[in-house]
Structure 1
Amino acid sequence: MTFPAPARDLAVLLARIAVGLVFFAHGWQKLFTNGIDGTAAFFDSVGVPAASAAAWFAALVELVGGAALIVGLAVPVAALLLLIDMVGAFVFVHAGAGLFVEQGGYELVLVLGAAALLLAAVGAGRFSVDHLLASRRRTAQPVGA
């Protein structure tokens, strides 16, 4: 069974907002709560290579990528960057700690990575800036083009 188009687009919108909020909050935390220096120090302590560059990458991808998901702008690109971010979090931080997040495990990283992959595959849906821009491009093309 497949949802009718309006319900499917509403589901994609709600998923984008929920996932985007979580990523945005984690990016905000890395930039403004812990700070880049604190984030880089943590990354260094768990063996993340190029910890300072990785901290900037993670913070900016999560903050900007999360915001992009929320509004539905460049969703496939943002989601792929967020997926890469989650692969790094899995490999360098959470994989050895088991599944459960309260033990430092990877359950949140796994779910966020899977959600990012799904959004990269299905796109932003009808209720998005991506859809609005695509609609404008289609109507702006000359007849016969």
Structure 2
Amino acid sequence: MASLHQTPFSDNPVRAVLLLGCRILLGLVLIAHGWQKLTIIGIDGVAAQMARSGVPVPTLAAIVAATIEFVGGICILLGLFTWVAGSLVALLMAGAYAFVHRGNGVLVDNGGWELVAAIGVAALLLALTSPGDLSLDQALSAPHGRPRRRGRRS
């Protein structure tokens, strides 16, 4: 009898490739947003935007947001410390929703919450499941560089 955790992709090489694709896409989006905050807009510009939105301690919040997006994006892309990076990104996106996007409707072109929700949910799913077999988390936890098998969850 199949377990409740089993899916058509459980313990399947396709699962590892799909998780890798999700991590690459999410990681690139986060890196781009973090880089934008760090270099294009700059911390002072991001802090000013956050202050206008009512974010407490906007300079600290800008530094934290830029760092989590940039470093978290790299970690998610590589599948390194994925549960930590995914959890921090999900919390950051919850804060972005609460302070900036909540009252602006759904669509991102009106400042809505659709992008932060999609990023937050994707990050949370990676944090709660696994980065997959094609990840540094998996490689570093396995003896002699071989992916470690953990039952049906890979």
Give 1:138 deviation, angstroms.
9.2
Unaligned runs of 5+ in 1: 140-145
Which of the pair is proportionally richer in helix? 1
* Structure 2 residue 8 is matched with structure 1 residue 2: yes
Give the TM-score of the pair, scaled to structure 1. Answer: 0.92
CA distance in 2, matches of 1:105, 1:35: 22
Query: Which string of whole-angstrom CA distances, capped at 9 and with x for unpartnered residues, describes residues 96-139 of structure 1?
Result: 00000011000001100110111001121100110110003898
CA distance in 2, matches of 1:136, 1:130: 12
Query: Which string of whole-angstrom CA distances, capped at 9 and with x for unpartnered residues, describes residues 47-94 of structure 1?
Result: 001101100000000000000011110000000000011001000000
Aligned residues: 139
**Structure 2 SS opposite 1:120:** helix
Identical positions, percent: 45
CA distance in 1, matches of 2:45, 2:130: 34
* Structure 2 residue 102 is matched with structure 1 residue 121: no
Query: In the alignment, which residue of structure 1 is the partner of 2:140?
Result: 133
CA distance in 2, matches of 1:77, 1:136: 22
**Structure 1 SS opposite 2:142:** helix
After superposition, the Cα gap between the structure-2 partners of 1:42 and 1:81, relative to the gap in structure 1 and judged at 3 Å, is same
* Structure 2 residue 29 is matched with structure 1 residue 49: no
Query: In the alignment, which residue of structure 1 is the partner of 2:82?
Result: 75
* Structure 2 residue 47 is matched with structure 1 residue 40: yes
**2:131 is aligned with what amino acid?**
A
Give the TM-score of the pair, scaled to structure 2. Answer: 0.87
